[in-house]
Amino acid sequence: MERNTRQSGKSGQGKIIGSEEAFREFLSGINTPKLRSAILDTGRFSEEEIDNQLAVYVGEMLHGYRFVAEHILPGKLRILEVGAGLGLMSIYLHRLGHEVVALEPAALAFGFFEVSKKEIWKAAYPDTPALSEKTAEELTPEIDGKFDFIFSMNVMEHIADINKATAAILGVLENDGICVNSCPNYLVPYEPHYAIPMVPFAHSLTRKIYNRKIAKNPDIWDSLNFINWFSVRRMARQNGATVTFESGLIYKSFKRLGEDEEFMARHRDGLVGKMFKILSATRLLGLLRFLPPIASTPMIFTYRLKK
């Protein structure tokens, strides 16, 4: 495969990511009355449900933009987004001139997600990246090529065979590329999707205790692989890679509650919202920045292939 994607970066070109204002403008061009009307016309969702769900997606995409902007490499890149979701980040990066593959298995699409994704891609067409509906476990360099920058956001905990998937993902990573991921660290006894504490190392017991809450949406629980700091280190070692973890993430997550109204609204009545109020009132919040990554959730970790 003839490629020169990293040459411009190596010759001094900076990160091609655009400003946050430009990303907000991009989102406003996607999240339009026409999109809402198209979803409403399916007859499956009310206007209130559509507005609430899209507000959540847009809020998370702004957070995702900051994640990508911080970690993306310089220059025009060949990029793989693992678990692209609605595809908004992949579409945006494609429009900036990167060569992007959005990996989102078709079998995982359902409900509002399925409908809104279909309408978003229809609205964005033809200026869209490549969409691959295979699983991460099915990636191969012979078919998919290799990538300079691979990233995932809140996806790794949902991959069924995380060991096989990690091997496949690192198998399509360029020698000088990076693979950056953000997901929960289940060494910390907290489950963010349900906002519940967990019995340490006793997932089945946790499910029994919180069965009523989990039963409202069991598919999420059934998809969890309970990835953690130790398993990430093991997978790096098994695949000839190094891994680094970022510090202070639990502090940043709590801090976001005080800065992001929509994010706080989703957590205000849960365990995290209550903890935030206590930590803020007692002025202990700042101490969380000193927690080591092993004791912090979420975790952001970066794989690099050993040279």
Q: How confident is the model at residue 261 (pLDDT cuts 50, 70, 90)?
A: low
225 within 8 A of 289, measured Cβ to Cβ: no
Backbone angles phi, psi at 53, to 5 degrees: -65, -45
In this structure, what DSSP letter does residue 44 have? S
What's the pLDDT at 109?
A: 47
Q: Residue 104 corresponds to which tokens in the numbers above?
A: 């989102």
Q: 253 falls in which pLDDT band (50, 70, 90)?
A: confident
> Quick check: 105 pLDDT over 90?
no
**In the chain, % of residues over pLDDT 70:** 86
Q: What are phi and psi of 74, to 5 degrees?
A: -70, 160
CB count within 10 Å of CB 222 equals 11
CA 187 from centroid of its chain's CA atoms: 19
Peptide bond preceding 184: is omega within 30 degrees of 0, i.e. cis? no
Burial of 121 (0-12, 13-18, 19+ CB in 10 A): middle
* pLDDT of amino acid 273: 67
What are the residues whose beta carbons fall under 8 Å from the beta carbon of 140, sequence distance 6 or more? 168, 171, 172
Is the pLDDT at 294 greater than 70, yes or no?
yes
SS3 259: helix
What is the mean pLDDT of the segment spanning 132-138? 95
**Contacts (Cβ under 8 Å, ≥6 apart) of 126:** none
Single out the residue of 104, 121, 106 nearest to residue 38, CA to CA: 121
Closest listed residue to residue 158, CA positions, set 83, 215, 60, 106 = 83
Q: Band of the pLDDT at 169, cuts 50, 70, 90?
A: very high
Decide: 163 and 88 in contact? Cβ < 8 Å. Answer: no
Predicted confidence band at 71 (pLDDT cuts at 50, 70, 90)? very high
pLDDT in tens, 205-225: 999 999 999 999 898 999 999
Stretch 232-252: mean pLDDT: 91
Average pLDDT over residues 177-187: 97
Angstrom CA distances, 237 to 143, 161, 169, 226, 245, stand at: 25, 17, 14, 19, 14
Residue 242, SS3 per DSSP: strand
Span 236-247, mean pLDDT? 96
pLDDT band at 9 (very low <50, low <70, confident <90, very high): very low
Query: Quick one: CA dihedral 177, 89, 180, 70, positive or negative?
Result: positive
